[in-house]
Amino acid sequence: MIRFEHVSFTHAGASSPVLRDVDLTIPEGDLVLVIGRTGSGKSTLLNLINGLAPHFTGGTLSGRVEVAGLDTRTHPPRDLAGVVGTVGQNPRAGFTTDTVEDELAYTMESLGFAPDVMRRRVEETLDLLGLVSLRQRPLDTLSGGEQQRVAIGAALTAGPRVLVLDEPTSALDPAAAEEVLAAIARLVHDLAITVVMAEHRLERVVEFADHVIRIDAEPVQLQDPQAAMAGHGLQPPVVRLAHALGWEPLPLSVRTARRHALQLRTAPFQPPTRRAGGDGVAALSQTTVRFGRVEALRDVDLHLRAGQVTALMGRNGAGKSTLMNVLAGSRLPESGRVEVAGHDPAELRGPELLRQIAYVPQDPTDLFYSETVAKECAATDRDLGQPAGSAYRRLLDLVETVDPQTHPRDLSAGQQLALALAIQLGTAPDVVLLDEPTRGLDYPGKVAFGRWLDMLAERGCSILLATHDVELVAVAGDRVIVLADGEVVTDADVRTALTSSPAFAPQVQKVLAPLPVLTVEEACTL
């Protein structure tokens, strides 16, 4: 179905190949998971399948990539559109119409499909992906999971034999991620579509994979999922738990792991305490924010404490980013009061603002102004009065390698995030606001990020972390606030919050329930 013959690829301006001598065959009707460190070349491999590399991205390709008998070097993406469907990391950025039904039909219109064929395929796709009730909905009113399913549907209507997905669950809450993965599984099992998917949240997807490609392995080849998960730093928590406790064969799912843990779940366990936090440093009082007729926040009362990591969780569209923007001073509420260190954040400017608040938004490119990573880091060092190279060293704490001469907007999503964190977290402001900060980060990057959070909390910073990453919250969080429809529905310590809700429970908790164990490290004390 898909054949890589001794493929190497070098990005334009890069000194060395990002992929080197890849030689493998992906069978028809399989779900293949592409894994590797942040920036290792996962998205590049996907773009070689759909023809975006090198036709749109530039760069130098050697070797041969063949999809369903078509050589991607001589067939541009338009020629491959009927064979390969693609959904990028941000599905919203790929939408070209206003409603669900129009978006599903758009690709077929572009390819000149007959009207009766278009109508039939739209209806089939609506049924297959559970979108019938949404057919007339404006795209900008959909949740993240709904948008992801629409994006997949828009790629499917052209009748592709291959579906390429880049981080399809990275921005989704746990329930929405389950919806999307169930839809992907139906495509593989019922339609025999070949799915090639890059994903960092392996705890969500590895159990569904038929094969795994480790992009940073030597040589790059198809592997059995269990073999691919053995012996490296990219293991999801359930696999790390199995390794630590010597379970064989290696479980990839919570269900299988629970069979190994039958006796362990009755062991005595004394939960370790988390940081209680100090004085309040930020607060929202009876705060309401509206977008037209929609109340994004409704009479929210919230207090953030010094020296504490607070996770802000909830479904896509619950109001998390809006709350972050209000605290950052970039969005004014319709009513209520907002304070950070005794100030209204909307009135703070320049250095005074930076001393009080550090904010990394969902799209980190909003923070980049220079044409290379090196210049961006150098400007940060000058602005903060720090020794040359400080920001770049912080960057390398989070990602294995970054070419300092690369334009920041040409970095992978995970590398962009790491650069934004390196820029914003160079000081210890009173409040640190991080909106989906681990999107695109691999497990070692998350470990390094967790160390940063601990360091900032020990310095007395109050950290608010808007995230869907329950595994990160289990390791680094002290407190959890859950929003639903703009209202606070949970405000509890991290252990109470994560063990009381199946939707937010981390993998280790699911394996060892009813014990209130959250992490692999805690489980190893049993």
Distance (Å, whole) CA 408 – CA 416: 7
CA pair distance 515, 26, nearest whole angstrom: 41
Integer Cα distance of 349 and 461 in angstroms: 20
Pair of tokens at residue 273: 């305490």
- Give yes or no for a cis peptide into 271 (omega within 30° of 0): no
Q: Name the CATH superfamily, with its identifier, for domain 280-513.
A: P-loop containing nucleotide triphosphate hydrolases (3.40.50.300)
pTM: 0.85
- Beta strands 211-214 and 31-35 are parallel
155 backbone dihedrals φ, ψ, rounded to 5° = -75, -30
* DSSP 8-state code for residue 427: S
Residue 303 CA, chain-centre distance (Å), reads: 27
For residues 376 and 369, the answer to whether their CB atoms sit within 8 Å is yes
**Those residues with Cβ within 8 angstroms of residue 487's Cβ, 6 or more apart along the chain or in another chain:** 297, 298, 299, 300
Query: Up-side HSE of residue 135: CA atoms within 13 Å toward CB?
Result: 13
CB 37 within 8 A of CB 442: yes
Write out the E strands in 388-508: 431-435, 462-466, 479-484, 487-493
d(CA 216, CA 41): 8
**Residue 71 CB-density burial (10 A; 0-12 exposed, 13-18 middle, 19+ buried):** middle
d(CA 329, CA 465): 16
Enumerate the domain spans of the chain. Answer: 2-232, 280-513
Beta bridge partners of 455: none
Q: 236: cis peptide before it, omega within 30°? A: no
Nearest CA to 437 among 286, 521, 277, 312? 312
Which pLDDT score, from 0 to 100, does residue 351 have? Answer: 67
Under 8 Å between Cβ of 151 and 86: no
Burial of 298 (0-12, 13-18, 19+ CB in 10 A): middle
Please give the angle made by the CA atoms of 423, 494 and 241, to the nearest 5 degrees: 85
- Cβ count near 445 (within 10 Å): 25
- Looking up tokens 């970054």 gives 402
The CATH code of the domain at 2-232 is 3.40.50.300
Q: Which token pair is 422?
A: 């390196």
pLDDT confidence of residue 289: 94
Cis peptide before 361 (omega within 30 of 0): no
Per-residue pLDDT of the chain (526 residues; tens, 9 = 90+): 899 999 999 988 788 899 999 999 999 999 999 998 888 899 999 999 999 999 998 999 999 999 999 999 999 998 898 899 999 877 887 899 999 999 999 989 988 899 999 999 999 999 888 889 999 999 988 877 788 889 999 998 988 999 999 988 877 888 888 888 888 898 899 889 999 999 988 988 999 999 999 998 888 999 999 989 987 778 999 999 999 999 999 999 999 999 999 989 999 999 999 999 899 999 999 999 998 888 899 999 999 999 999 999 998 888 998 999 999 998 999 999 999 988 899 888 776 777 788 898 877 888 899 999 999 999 999 988 889 999 999 898 888 778 899 899 888 777 888 898 888 878 778 899 998 888 777 888 888 888 888 988 998 999 999 999 999 999 999 999 999 999 999 999 999 999 998 889 999 999 999 999 999 999 999 8
